[in-house]
Structures are given as structure tokens and as C-alpha cells.
Amino acid sequence: MAALVVGAAAAGQDGWFRGRGRSVTEPENARVEYDGRFSFVRLRYQGGFRRDPGWLHDYPRADWHFQRILEEITYTRTLRDESNILALDDPDLGLYPLVYMSEPGFWTLNEAEMLGLRGYLQKGGFIVFDDFRGARDWTNLQQRMEEVLPEARWVPLDATHPIFHSFFDINTLIRQGYYGEAAFLGIFEDNDPQKRLLAIANYNHDLGELWEFSDTGWVPVDLSNEAYKYGVNYVIYAMTH
């Protein structure tokens, strides 16, 4: 199996590096003019508990590393060392097939943001929720999505779903996530599992952190490789459904 990690990462050390205590400064303008290339879009929201807001966690290394991998192993042209940060009510959201939210356990939204995300998903968009854990985080995510799509219901996904085979064949889902026993849950159009997937939640997991540190040797190479596989599959699914 070819290594997917960015650069020549050293073998993973025992344990997982969690990178706590670092502070990330919010960029003044993380916006790139649309030119047809794939851009990683990170969603900005109100809420968080660290010195850096939760939505900004792992930025920009996770975003840029992921785009490099996506371009190297698929035919997808990306921005590589640039990416976008957009609000949920940004009118340009519809230009992008996939958006990413970090730490939705601390997500809050107003009416304009609720309507913006609802419109994005109903018109064909796809959202990835990542880096959250435990009952409190999950309850908050459920409540926020009930505001966005009142009739929607979360459904546990297994390895037979097409999203896990859109590029890489992932025949066994990760059981031990970054924060504990992992699960992957989705929301479907009209709550019909035979229709398009609108959202996916990586519960008890943190793909972004594994992307962020994939070139450092602080996380095991095989874990970073698996994290990239999930991300690539999400993008290819979003671009083809």
C-alpha cells in the first residue's frame, strides 16, 4: 500500500499527539477567488472553548495537506496552499461541493446561517462534521441540524455505503477513533438511505488532526493514511452525487 502522507513522515510514536495548548490566530482574509479548482472550505461559526475558536482547529495545515494529497492521487485540481473560510450564510457557498466543520459540539447559528446551510444542502451541497466527541457534543450537533433540517434524521452508516467506495474501497470502518469508539452517521435526502447523502459526522474521531500532523511523525503513518482515504472518498462522493 502506497503511503499517502505529505512528505517523508517518520514512523508513528506510541500514543497520539493531541497538540493541545497551541493557539491559532484567525486569518484576516482566508478567501480565494473561485477559478474552478477544488477548494477546501472550512465553515466559520460562533462558539468554541479554547484560545482559538473551535471551527479554526487544525487550520491551515490540515486543509492544505489534504488538498495536496487529493491532487496527487486523483485528477482533481486543487488550490494546494490556499483554502477558503466561509460563513454558513455566505452566498458563494454554493460554488463548492463539500464544506467542512470542525468541533460542531460548540456550534451555534443564527437564522441567516440556518437558512444559508439549509439552502446549500437542499441544492446539492455536502457537509462533513469532524473533531467532536461524547454525549454533549453529539447532542449539540443534533440540535443544530434539527434547526437546519427539521425533518432530518441521523442514520448510522456501515461499510457498504457507496461513500466508502467512491475512490478507495474501505471495507472495514474505523472502530477506534481519535477520542474513543468511533461511528459514522449520515443524513439522507428525504431520510431515504437510497438517496443522496447530505451530511456525514465522524463521531469520536478527528480526521483533521491526523491530516495536520501527517508530515511530523507525531501520529502513526497508517492512521494518517486511513484519515486521508476517508477524506478523499468524501470529496469524490460529493462531486459525483
Report CA-CA distances (Å) from 139 to 24, 62, 104, 154, 185: 26, 26, 10, 12, 13
Q: Is the pTM of this model over 0.85?
A: yes
- For residue 99, the model assigns a pLDDT of 98
Could you tell me which residues are beta bridge partners of residue 86? 43
- For residue 14, the model assigns a pLDDT of 31
Residue type, 152: A
User: What does the pLDDT look like over 154-176, one tens digit per residue?
Assistant: 999 999 999 999 999 999 999 98
- For residue 16, the model assigns a pLDDT of 35
- For residue 28, the model assigns a pLDDT of 62
Low-confidence ranges of the chain (pLDDT < 70): 1-26, 28-29, 48-52
- For residue 194, the model assigns a pLDDT of 96
Provide DSSP, 153-174.
--EE--TTSGGGGSSS---S--
Domain 41-240's class?
Answer: alpha beta
Q: Is the dihedral of CA 124, 56, 212, 200 positive or negative?
A: negative
In angstroms, the CA 6 to CA 211 distance is 9
